[in-house]
Structure 1
């Protein structure tokens, strides 16, 4: 393929040094990981909010039952996620 068929982004990428390309790949991987974590937090917030906060918040803060429910919900969610990830890691190591 001649360079005239490359898009601007590809042409610019091809001019980077090997080290710069690796740094860019690592940066993109890190940003993707951040996006996954942010999405998990949004899902967690939505699930626990719907489960634990049935109505309006009075007095500017959660009541004790709502607070306990939300804390338990987050803990269960995190425990389940870590258990799932540990299981996937174990499966990956077996392959």
Structure 2
């Protein structure tokens, strides 16, 4: 993100609603946190970042992009499927999207 900001872009990220690290204990008894991790966190971060950029620069953003790899690639595919107009471009690298029944 530092490179993006250095190049004059607005950049945002999140912990996707939890500080769980590799332990999944944060999911136990918290289905809303699982939904945040699975999809909603990026939607809220993107819309908040666009709102803040508009307030700071006095004009709406001209383009918005999402980039992720591995789990971030899975998230990129989820964003494209569930919020197709939120980003102008999405780069989904090596998405971890195979979840058998």
**TM-score, structure 1 normalization:** 0.34
TM-score normalized with structure 2 length: 0.32
Structure possessing the higher radius of gyration over alpha carbons: 1
Higher strand share: 2
Task: Specify which structure has the higher proportion of helix.
Answer: 1
